[in-house]
Amino acid sequence: MAAMNDMPNSPNHADSALTDAEWGYLHPNCRGEAALAFFTRDLARTIEQHLGSRSVTHDDVAQAQTAIDALLAKYVEIEAAPYAFEEASIRLRIAVDRAPDGSEMPYVALETSERLESMILDMQERARLGLN
């Protein structure tokens, strides 16, 4: 999934009126398409908190998965965008690529349910084009 588009003039931009201490699901405008922008910010924050810039173990991935499941459940609970979040899933796993020298390069792969991923990408493209 791509990083959230940085368009601060957009009324749906997730960073409008948010401080680093706040979660997007707490914002009063966390509804509809704006909820997708808030969610991508919260998802990135959750991943960074659990997996940021260090060697990652299977236990770390499991803890991050639990946090992501709770984040998705929160967006369902507040009915931020039921069409986007109900029955949505995000799964983390450790995958391995090969470096040019043949050595293994592990990384965390994020697999998002097709509908949620498509909606986030569409929202980001509209924001990029200034259509929000």
Give the three-state DSSP class for 39.
helix
Average predicted confidence (pLDDT) for the chain:
84
Give the three-state DSSP class for 30.
coil
Instruction: Please give the pLDDT value at position 127.
Output: 85
Q: How far apart are CA 12 and CA 54, in angstroms?
A: 32
Query: What's the pLDDT tens digit per position in 33-61?
Result: 899 999 999 999 999 999 986 788 999 99
Q: How far apart are CA 65 and CA 97, in angstroms?
A: 21
Q: How many helices (H) and strands (E) does the chain have?
A: 4, 2
The answer, yes or no, to whether residue 15 has pLDDT greater than 60, is no
Q: How far apart are CA 51 and CA 20, in angstroms?
A: 18
Let me know: does 4 contact 38? Beta carbons within 8 Å: no
* The dihedral sign for the CA sequence 20, 1, 74, 76: positive
Instruction: Please give the pLDDT value at position 21.
Output: 63
Query: What's the pLDDT tens digit per position in 86-119?
Result: 999 999 999 999 989 999 888 899 999 999 999 9
- pLDDT tier at 132, thresholds 50, 70, 90: low
